[in-house]
Structure 1
Amino acid sequence: MSGQIPDRVGPSPTEGRDGPGDVVLRAPTGVSEDAGGFALRAPDGVRYRVDLSSGVLDPGNALLGGYLEDRRVVAFVSPAVDRLYGERLRAYLDAHTPPGQWTLHVMATGEHRKTLAAVEHVCALAKADGLDRRGLMLAVGGGIVADVVGFAASIYARGIRYIKVNTTLVGQVDVGVGVKTGVNALGTKNMFGAYHPAHASLNDPAFLATLPHREIRCGLAEIVKMAVILDEDLFRVLERHPDAFRRPAAGPAEHSYAEHSPAELERYILRTSMRLMMEELCPNLYERDLARLVDFGHTFSPLIETAGGHRLEHGEAVAVDMALSAHLARLLGLADEETCHRVVRLLRRIGLPVFDPVTCTPELMTRALCASWQRRGRKLHLVVPTGIGKAAFVEELADIPGNVLEDALKALAADGERRDG
Structure 2
Amino acid sequence: MAAQTAVAEPGVSGDDGGFTLRSPEGTSYRVDIVSGVFAPGSALLAEHCEGRRVVAFLGPTVERLYGDRLRRYLAAHLAPGSWSVVVIGGGEEQKTMASVEEICARAKAAGLDRRGVMLAVGGGVTCDLVGFAAAIYCRGVRYIKVNTTLVGQVDVGVGVKTGVNALGTKNMLGSYHPAHASINDPAFLDTLPERQIKCGLGEIAKMAIIRDARLFRVLEECPEVFRQSYPVPAWLAAADAGRRGVEDYVLRTSMALMLEELCPNLREHDLARLVDFGHTFGPVIETAGDYRVAHGESVAIDMAVSAQLARVLGLIGADDCERIVRLIAGLGLPVYDPETCTPELMGQALRASWERRGRRLHLVVPDGIGSAVFVDDLEDVPAAALEEALDALAVRPGGLPGPLAVAR
| TM-score, with structure 1 as normaliser | 0.90
Task: Report whether the alignment pairs 1:393 with 2:368.
Answer: no
Question: How far apart, CA to CA, are the structure 2 residues paired with 1:257 and 1:225?
Answer: 22
Question: How far apart, CA to CA, are the structure 2 residues paired with 1:123 and 1:163?
Answer: 15
What is aligned with 1:122? Answer: 103
Q: CA deviation at 1:41?
A: 0.5
What is aligned with 1:12? Answer: none
Task: Report whether the alignment pairs 1:94 with 2:78.
Answer: no
Question: How far apart, CA to CA, are the structure 1 residues paired with 2:381 and 2:35?
Answer: 47
- Runs (4 or more) in structure 1 with deviation over 6 Å come to 255-258, 260-263
What is aligned with 1:65? Answer: 46
Q: CA deviation at 1:257?
A: 6.2
What is aligned with 2:321? Answer: 340
What amino acid is aligned across from residue 154 of structure 1 in structure 2? A
Note closer, same or farther for the CA distance 1:72–1:109 as it changes in structure 2 (3 Å cut).
same
Larger RCO, structures 1/2 (Cα 8 Å, 6+ apart):
2
Q: CA deviation at 1:263?
A: 6.4
Contact 1:247 1:262 in 2 (8 A): no
What is aligned with 1:199? Answer: 180
Question: How far apart, CA to CA, are the structure 2 residues paired with 1:236 and 1:113?
Answer: 37
Q: Superposed, which structure 2 residues align to 1:11-160 within 5 Å?
A: 27-160=8-141
Q: CA deviation at 1:416?
A: 4.0
What is aligned with 1:356? Answer: 337
Q: CA deviation at 1:417?
A: 5.1
Contact 1:355 1:416 in 2 (8 A): no
Query: Cα deviation per residue 1:56-105 (whole Å; 9 max; x = unaligned)?
Result: 01021000010011110000011111111111100010011100111101
Q: Superposed, which structure 2 residues align to 1:249-264 within 5 Å?
A: 264=245
Q: How many residues align?
A: 389
What is aligned with 1:268? Answer: 249
Query: Cα deviation per residue 1:126-145 (whole Å; 9 max; x = unaligned)?
Result: 00010000011000000000
Q: Superposed, which structure 2 residues align to 1:168-183 within 5 Å?
A: 168-183=149-164
Q: 2:143 aligns with which of 142, 162, 181?
A: 162
Question: How far apart, CA to CA, are the structure 1 residues paired with 2:398 and 2:46?
Answer: 50
Q: CA deviation at 1:27?
A: 4.4
What is aligned with 1:223? Answer: 204
Q: CA deviation at 1:415?
A: 2.4
Question: How far apart, CA to CA, are the structure 1 residues paired with 2:396 and 2:180?
Answer: 43
Question: How far apart, CA to CA, are the structure 2 residues paired with 1:169 and 1:25?
Answer: 36
Q: CA deviation at 1:333?
A: 0.3
What is aligned with 1:368? Answer: 349
What amino acid is aligned across from residue 254 of structure 2 in structure 1? S
SS of the residue aligned with 1:415?
coil
Q: Superposed, which structure 2 residues align to 1:270-289 within 5 Å?
A: 270-289=251-270
Question: How far apart, CA to CA, are the structure 2 residues paired with 1:32 and 1:294?
Answer: 19
Query: Cα deviation per residue 1:130-189 (whole Å; 9 max; x = unaligned)?
Result: 000001100000000000000000000000000000000000000000000000000000
Percent of paired sites with the same residue: 65
Question: How far apart, CA to CA, are the structure 1 residues paired with 2:50 and 2:138?
Answer: 20
Question: How far apart, CA to CA, are the structure 2 residues paired with 1:331 and 1:393?
Answer: 15
What is aligned with 1:379? Answer: 360
Note closer, same or farther for the CA distance 1:26–1:219 as it changes in structure 2 (3 Å cut).
farther
Question: How far apart, CA to CA, are the structure 1 residues paired with 2:249 and 2:36?
Answer: 19
Question: How far apart, CA to CA, are the structure 2 residues paired with 1:356 and 1:35?
Answer: 40
What is aligned with 1:302? Answer: 283
Contact 1:354 1:416 in 2 (8 A): no
Contact 1:65 1:96 in 2 (8 A): yes
SS of the residue aligned with 2:396?
helix
Question: How far apart, CA to CA, are the structure 1 residues paired with 2:269 and 2:7?
Answer: 26
What is aligned with 1:232? Answer: 213
RMSD, aligned α-carbons: 1.7
Q: 2:171 aligns with which of 174, 190, 195?
A: 190
Question: How far apart, CA to CA, are the structure 1 residues paired with 2:114 and 2:34?
Answer: 28
Task: Report whether the alignment pairs 1:324 with 2:305.
Answer: yes
Contact 1:25 1:32 in 2 (8 A): no
Contact 1:242 1:349 in 2 (8 A): yes
Q: CA deviation at 1:256?
A: 6.6
Task: Report whether the alignment pairs 1:406 with 2:380.
Answer: no
Q: Which moved more, 1:259-268 or 1:145-154?
A: 259-268
Q: CA deviation at 1:366?
A: 0.3
What amino acid is aligned across from residue 371 of structure 2 in structure 1? K
Question: How far apart, CA to CA, are the structure 1 residues paired with 2:284 and 2:207?
Answer: 21
Contact 1:183 1:189 in 2 (8 A): yes
Runs of 5+ consecutive residues of structure 2 not aligned to the other structure: 400-408
What is aligned with 1:3? Answer: none
Question: How far apart, CA to CA, are the structure 1 residues paired with 2:57 and 2:398?
Answer: 41
Contact 2:206 2:303 in 1 (8 A): yes
Query: Cα deviation per residue 1:277-315 (whole Å; 9 max; x = unaligned)?
Result: 000000000000000000000000000000001001000
Query: Cα deviation per residue 1:304-327 (whole Å; 9 max; x = unaligned)?
Result: 000001001000000000000000
Q: CA deviation at 1:262?
A: 11
What is aligned with 2:224? Answer: 243
